[in-house]
Structure 1
Amino acid sequence: MGNPMTKVMDENMVKSQEFMLKTQRMTMERQLMMQNVMRERQMAMQIARARDLFYWWGSFYGVCLLGMTAGALKGKNPRLLAPLVPLTFILGYQYDLSYGTKIARMKDEAESILKDELSLLDLPDGIPTVEAIDKAREALKSK
């Protein structure tokens, strides 16, 4: 027969462990949620930046288009329109990134890399260990 006090202590310890596991799980869920929210905000900022850049490129392209067309017509020299070719590609790329499906295609390619080419993502010297971090930290302190 066990001591009733030991039984109560064991029950309390089990309850305490269950509480700690629940707390750890909730903390992890919150951290994951926070990281996802931050990722979404960063992506939204990148898309907004791409759209802003598209507006600038579009304006620049419009000015160049008008100026080069006027110059080509005035000077009867169609070669003046040649710089519009690369500018058209740049503007098209920026539009696709800002409003098109480029981000979805990039996501699909990233998923393909994660699935089929995971070795490309390996860090040099592997994942840092606690020992390696402590060793580097101690080396910095000794300097």
Structure 2
Amino acid sequence: MGQWNSTPSEIHEDEPFLLYKEQLQQERMMELQNQWLERTNAMEIAWSREFVRYYGAFCAVSTVGLCVGAFQRRRLVLLAPLVPLGCVLTYQLDQVYGTLRGRVRVEAERLMGSERAKLGPPGGHLTFQALEDIRKARPNALRAWPIPHDHPLRIQKNLPTPRLDAKDPDVSCGHFTK
């Protein structure tokens, strides 16, 4: 009573339903990831556009001030800072309102298609076995789990309750052995 026993034939009958549920779950996860990516990109673009407004105002004030100063003192050298300011403003405008993001996306797709070897992490992708080998090669690696009985950090059971007015930090903790 109250038990559900499945026979192998029942499992095979439920297989299409289970595959459908798994596919539905994966599609939902992919949609969630796509929505998250779109929202993140929208926030980046909005932040960049706000930054361009402030930076553009700074460049405009700087341009007016440098032009007035250069023509009053008759020294065109004072206009030199306008070159890097203009280059940075042009880059920012291209990134936010232009086609820079599209060009970067096209280049990324080209790299993924034709130069796949350049995309991997240095030393190749990690596997569980590689991580275990690295962990075991370290001199201070824990060799066994759980913590051995005589390990200095092993939690003791049935310890007396520590006094609240204890001055010694080792006594006030009361949870770990020394």
> Which TM-score tier does this pair reach, normalised by the shorter chain?
0.7 to 0.9
Equivalent residue for 1:29, pick from 27, 30, 35? 27
Of 105, 108, 116, the residue aligned with 1:107 is 105
In the alignment, structure 1 residue 65 sits paired with structure 2 residue 63: yes
* TM-score with structure 2 setting the length: 0.68
TM-score, normalised relative to structure 1: 0.83
Structure 1's 18 and 114: CA in aligned 2 closer, same or farther, altered over 3 A? same
Percent of paired sites with the same residue? 33
Runs of 5+ consecutive residues of structure 2 not aligned to the other structure: 1-5, 144-178
Q: Which residue of 1 aligns with 2:17?
A: 19
Matched, 1:94 2:121: no
SS at match of 2:33: helix
Aligned to 2:142: 142
Q: Aligned AA for 2:16?
A: E
5+ residue gaps, structure 1: 1-7
Give CA-to-partner distance per residue, 1:8-42, whole Å, 9 cap, x none: 93441112222221111111111111111111111
Change in CA separation of 1:135 and 1:40 when aligned onto 2, cut-off 3 Å: farther
Which structure has the larger Rg?
2
Structure number with higher helix proportion: 1
Bigger RCO (CA 8 Å, 6+ sep)? 1
Q: CA RMSD in A?
A: 2.3
Measure, in 1, the Cα distance between the counterparts of 2:81 and 2:125. 47
The 1:37–1:141 alpha-carbon spacing in structure 2 relative to 1, beyond 3 Å, is farther
Residue 110 of structure 1 aligns to a residue in which SS?
helix
Q: Tell me how far apart the structure 2 counterparts of residues 141 and 104 of structure 1 sit (CA, whole Å).
A: 47
Cα-to-partner distance string for 1:91-128 (whole Å, 9 max, x where unaligned): 01100000001111111111111111111101223222
Instruction: Give distance in 1, aligned partners of 2:13 and 2:123.
Output: 42
